């Protein structure tokens, strides 16, 4: 039995087999254990010699089991280490990298410029109420200017904001002058789309309010923005225009040219001095909220522009709809660039 057991131990190929060999010989009802149990049935004079004999066998088996177990454990560990080894010299796998959407890159440029000029950068709700989007901005329901911004109405009477200007009102209701903010975010208009018009697009709104703010400040600020975008020789042009929430109002354009010699006036947005009716509407809302009226006698300017126009020229994108079609051939060109 001894030789047979030792051979089985030596030949056990893995720890599982070794365990069953162990059970077979020295387990609770193993062969050796049973022999030991049977000692009691032997006549006393044989018992001692037989006991010593079996114990020697058991010791030999235990020792062999211990050795074989150590060897097998070592082998199992070696195998695991070999299979889990990392070759740190292998070149890495390319990971799919995202990138900033071109509109966000233009926003980064713009908010960088205004951030350096000390403006706070804020956002606001895309679902608006009629009062903030129109009424408080001096556009009552019968005003023809409502036709200029065809509106997506929601079932509960609210709407998708048609411009970022309602944030002028919200911010002034919550803050006292002086203040300087730019608002970034999406706006929506119920419009037929074409190469330069989308039903969802973006705006950057600016608002500065204080004492003695003038049209000269507005022009200087827009010129500074243009220099920030297009360098120190950038030129801006203002043309009289009409917005119910400004008086006077203007449209502004920036002279754009690229190294290939292409150039044009880029109509960027609208601007003007904040209309006194807007300050009045803000003070009314403040009063209703238990806050002091603080906007009477203040002056300020505001502007709103479309970053899509800037991005189309900057990146040579011929159709605004490419920005939002989620075509990887377009957006993939901006991958990995931050
Ligand atoms: C406004 O939305 C005013 N709230 C801007 C403003 C703010 C004026 C503060 C005065 C004071 P307008 O509708 O012109 O104005 O839009 C402003 C800019 O948004 C446009 O110059 C253009 O760049 C962009 N824009 C307008 N409609 C679209 C459209 N459908 N698709 C893409 N860009 C558009």
pTM for the structure as a whole: 0.75
Task: Give CA–CA dist 153/129, Å, rounded.
Answer: 10
Pull the structure tokens for residue 177. 């002058």
Task: Give CA–CA dist 44/131, Å, rounded.
Answer: 111
DSSP letter for 134, please.
T
Tell me how far the alpha carbon of residue 305 lies from the centroid of ligand 1, in angstroms: 6
pLDDT of residue 299: 98
Task: Give CA–CA dist 196/21, Å, rounded.
Answer: 82
Atom of ligand 1 nearest to the CA of 164: 4
pLDDT of residue 337: 52
Task: Give CA–CA dist 257/278, Å, rounded.
Answer: 37
Mutate to test the pocket of ligand 1, among 197, 203, 300, 309 (most ligand atoms within 8 A of CB): 203
Atom of ligand 1 nearest to the CA of 309: 23
CB 308 near ligand 1, within 6 Å:
yes
The end-to-end CA distance of the chain, in Å, is 76
pLDDT of residue 88: 87
CB 134 near ligand 1, within 6 Å:
no
- Residue 171: name the closest of 180, 163, 162 by CA: 180
Paired residues of 152 in beta bridges: none
Cα dihedral: 34, 36, 37, 42 (round 10): 120
Tell me how far the alpha carbon of residue 211 lies from the centroid of ligand 1, in angstroms: 27
pLDDT of residue 32: 81
Tell me how far the alpha carbon of residue 182 lies from the centroid of ligand 1, in angstroms: 15
- For the chain, 338 residues long, the average pLDDT of each consecutive 10-residue run is 85 89 87 82 83 85 88 88 87 82 96 97 98 96 80 94 98 98 97 94 98 98 95 94 97 89 91 98 98 98 97 92 91 74
DSSP letter for 213, please.
-
Residue 255 buriedness (CB in 10 A; 0-12 / 13-18 / 19+): middle
57 to each of 26, 62, 194, 251, 275, how far by Cα in Å? 10, 9, 95, 105, 107
CB 151 near ligand 1, within 6 Å:
no
CB 305 near ligand 1, within 6 Å:
yes
Chain centroid to Cα 18, Å, comes to 55
Query: Reduced to 3 states, what is the DSSP secondary structure of residue 168?
Result: helix
Q: What would the 3-class secondary structure string for 220-283 be?
A: HHHHHHHHHHHCCCCCEEEEEECCCCEEEEEEEEEEEECCCCCEEEEEEEEEEEECHHHHHHHH
- Residue 306: name the closest of 51, 58, 107, 150 by CA: 107
CB 189 near ligand 1, within 6 Å:
yes
DSSP letter for 90, please.
S
Query: What is the crossing angle of helices 102-116 and 215-230, to 10°?
Result: 130
């Amino acid at each position: 039995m001894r030789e047979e057991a030792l051979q089985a131990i030596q030949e056990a190929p893995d720890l599982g087999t070794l365990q069953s060999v162990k059970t077979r010989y020295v387990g609770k009802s193993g062969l050796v254990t049973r022999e030991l149990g049977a000692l009691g049935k032997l006549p006393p004079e044989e018992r001692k010699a037989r006991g010593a004999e079996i114990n020697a066998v058991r010791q030999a088996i235990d020792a062999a089991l211990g050795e074989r177990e150590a060897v097998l454990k070592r082998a199992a560990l070696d195998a695991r280490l070999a299979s889990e080894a990392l070759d740190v010299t292998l070149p890495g796998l390319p990971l799919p990298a995202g990138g900033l959407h071109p509109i966000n890159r233009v926003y980064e440029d713009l908010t960088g410029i205004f951030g350096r000029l000390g403006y706070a950068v804020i956002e606001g709700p895309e679902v608006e109420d009629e009062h903030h989007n129109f009424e408080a901005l001096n556009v009552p329901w019968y005003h023809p200017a409502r036709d200029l911004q065809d509106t997506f109405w929601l079932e509960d009477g609210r709407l998708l904001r048609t411009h970022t200007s309602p944030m002028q009102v919200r911010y002034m209701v919550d803050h006292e002058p002086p203040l300087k903010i730019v608002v970034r975010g999406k706006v929506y208009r119920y419009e037929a789309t074409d190469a330069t018009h989308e039903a969802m697009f973006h705006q950057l709104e600016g608002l500065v309010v204080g004492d003695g703010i003038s049209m000269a400040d507005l022009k200087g600020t827009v010129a500074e923005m243009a220099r920030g975008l297009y360098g120190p020789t950038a030129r801006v042009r203002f043309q009289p225009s009409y917005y119910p929430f400004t008086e006077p109002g203007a449209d502004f354009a920036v002279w754009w040219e690229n190294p290939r010699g292409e150039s044009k006036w880029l109509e960027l947005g609208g601007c003007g001095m904040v209309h006194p009716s807007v300050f009045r509407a803000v003070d009314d809302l403040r009063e209703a909220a238990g806050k002091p009226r603080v906007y009477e006698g203040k002056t300020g300017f505001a502007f709103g522009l479309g970053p899509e126009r800037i991005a189309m020229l900057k990146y040579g994108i011929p159709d605004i709809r490419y920005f939002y079609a989620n075509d990887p051939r377009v957006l993939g060109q901006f991958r990995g660039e931050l």
